[in-house]
Amino acid sequence: MTDAVLTGSGHDIPAGCREAHWPLENITLAGLSWQTPAENETRPPVLMVHGWLDNAMTFTRLAPELAHHAGIHAVDMAGHGHSGHRPPGYGYWLMDYVADLSELIDHHFPESERFPLDLVGHSLGGIVCALYAAAFPERVRRLVMIDSLGALSRPAKDTVPQLRRALQKRRNGSAPAAVYADVDAAAKIREGGLSPLSPEAASLLVPRNMRVSGDGFVWRTDARLRHPTALMMTEEQVQASLAAIQTPTLFVRAADGLLANHKGLDNRAELIPDLTTVEVPGGHHCHLDGDTAPVADAIKRFLFND
């Protein structure tokens, strides 16, 4: 891991952390790192992975709470934040995110071969972390999923229509990038997204996803992130992946989150052999928006009370 101050970020990094980047074979992942007090440096590190269209700043309120106990590294996934984009002609497949996480751990956290690390993921990040933990249980000590419990699934009969939509979008490409007069204007748009944010939360999250363009700002995030994926898991595959998780796991369920009315959620939860579920107040971004203390307290108890 190397430190880097990246230009054109449009934001100030939080106090107590530093910019970092982790070169992989075909892409460089960026992120933020919080150091722990010297007396806790022997604890396994915690890797944190954000949700779709977010970035490492989604953990800017949670990470400092955890950093009292262990070193914290929040990663920008490929195409997000300050991380690199996939090459032309490629898309953003779920399993490629898992491959990135695997390579990141192998190359930059090799000590996890002897001393497993902890993973904390929100939304898509929780899906990625869960799939990695299922595939490599010996590398993960504890797993935390925030408003996340397995991948989105589609029936097998939807495979060809899904493929058609993906190929059509790939052929048609993305619309021209919107240009905003300032970052605040983009943050205002983000407030009303699929998972709405307060102005305060949007102002923390959005700047890292922006870059300067001429006299304004455009999204730094790769426009291809919004393209339909060509192949999605079936529910049977999702359930098999959850059943394979041997790691002690915490599911942080947001009372008003995206999974609040998700059918079949209890069936999925029953598949994970060592699962603890805690319900917390708030919406999908319960770890960033509003009163985040219940989330922080639940995760600290789960990770550090041993």
Q: What is the pLDDT of residue 72?
A: 98
pLDDT for 9 beyond 60: no
241 is catalytic: no
Catalytic residue among 33, 123, 148, 195: 123
Q: What is the pLDDT of residue 11?
A: 62
Segment 93-103, tens digit of pLDDT = 999 999 999 99
How confident is the model over 25-34, as a mean pLDDT? 97
d(CA 98, CA 149): 16
Position 65, amino acid:
E
d(CA 162, CA 229): 8
SS3 content of the chain, % helix, strand, coil (to 5): 35, 20, 45
3-state SS record for 242-264: HHCCCCCEEEEEECCCCCCCCCC
- High-pLDDT (> 70) share of the chain, %: 96
> Model's pTM, two decimal places?
0.94
3-state SS record for 113-157: HCCCEEEEEECHHHHHHHHHHHHCHHHEEEEEEECCCCCCECCHH
Q: Which CATH superfamily is domain 2-153+233-304 in?
A: Alpha/Beta hydrolase fold, catalytic domain (3.40.50.1820)
Position 28, amino acid:
T
**Residue 263: pLDDT band by 50, 70, 90 thresholds?**
confident
Q: Residue 12: left if φ>0, alpha if ψ -120 to 50, beta else—which one?
A: beta
d(CA 152, CA 259): 11
Segment 158-182, tens digit of pLDDT = 999 999 999 999 999 999 989 999 9
| Two structure tokens written together for 221 | 């995030």
Tell me the three state secondary structure of residue 109. Answer: coil
d(CA 205, CA 200): 9
Segment 40-95, tens digit of pLDDT = 888 999 999 999 999 999 999 999 999 999 999 999 999 999 999 999 989 999 99
